[in-house]
Amino acid sequence: MICYFKNGDGMKLVNYPENASFFFSHDVKNEDSGEWTMQRHYHDLFEIYYLEKGSCNYFIDNKSYQLLEGDIAVVPAGVIHNTLYKNSKYSRMLINCTSRYIPASVISRFKKLTYIYRNEEASQKICSLLKEIEEEYTRGSEFSDDVLSCLTGMLFFTMLRNPNTYDDKEVKNEYVEKAVNFVQKNYTEPLSLTDIAKMFSLSPEHFSREFKKETGFGFCEYVNILRLKKAEQLLKENAKITVTEVSEKCGFNDSNYFSVRFKKMFGVSPKKIQKKSKN
């Protein structure tokens, strides 16, 4: 697994063993230390996030969602996401896994589950399944991988058998959502905080604050992460494309600046990413 975590000015690249395909973690924080943001990141595994206690804002792709106790976030591979805890007391369980742990019949209906799932009646059963998964993951016996696959499948089937009651209208700031959609469609063009704020008749300062509050990202930071993520995809998919071409296609006017930003984010140069992918 490869995972990119936001770390200061760039993204910290975390490499896991090549054969590692399933991770489980259970985090509990009982101390209230004010607002706290989970590092923004993306990875090449599916993510299933269960909020056992507390509340948070979960930014996924181009929207911010308000999660309450018992809610689940299901995030496909390669999607930028992060969590913002306004009250830092929380308990959450997290699964990262490859598609091998998700039944084919579930994959075909995956759109029904992403991104947020809420059903109070099913929450208790889902929590029990996650605790079984935690026990099996901790046990690590000869048959654990097969058992984890079965239990994860049951987790998805439970969600599909119980209707999702999450109301997508709960998203707070519509202009933040519209701004993110605009950036995703126009990331190859020059984009400035001032110009985007004008689209919504807001001052740059106010828009910047609201964008950060809603997504956990600074506006320019989000634009750069999106552009660099697109650049990484281009380099991996095309062995013959040049760094200058990638730079231009992803909205960077200066290929040298692009290379510096790329190395800061991924820890390696664009050419090395391309070479590694080719090999």
Task: Check: CB of residue 60 under 8 Å from CB of residue 83.
Answer: no
- Helix H, strand E, coil C: the string for 102-162 is CCHHHHCCHHHCCCEECCHHHHHHHHHHHHHHHHHHHHCCCCHHHHHHHHHHHHHHHHHHC
**Per-residue tens of pLDDT for the chain, all 279 residues:** 344 333 344 444 444 444 568 999 999 888 776 655 555 567 788 999 999 999 888 888 767 888 999 999 999 888 888 888 877 788 999 999 999 999 988 888 877 777 899 999 999 999 999 999 999 999 988 999 999 999 999 999 999 999 999 876 655 677 888 898 899 999 999 999 999 999 999 999 999 998 887 777 889 988 998 899 899 889 988 888 999 999 999 999 899 999 999 988 888 899 888 887 766
Structure tokens, 128: 């029990």
Q: Which domains does the chain have, with CATH numbers?
A: 2-170 (2.60.120.280), 174-278 (1.10.10.60)
Distance CA 235, CA 241 (A): 7
Structure tokens, 112: 């029904």
**213-241 b/e with 16+ CB inside 10 Å = b?**
bbbbbebebbbbbbbbbbbbebbeeeeee
pLDDT (0 to 100) of residue 229: 87
**38-53 b/e with 16+ CB inside 10 Å = b?**
bebbbbebbbbbbbbe
Burial class (CB in 10 A: 0-12, 13-18, 19+), 207: buried
Task: Check: CB of residue 78 under 8 Å from CB of residue 4.
Answer: no
pLDDT (0 to 100) of residue 38: 57
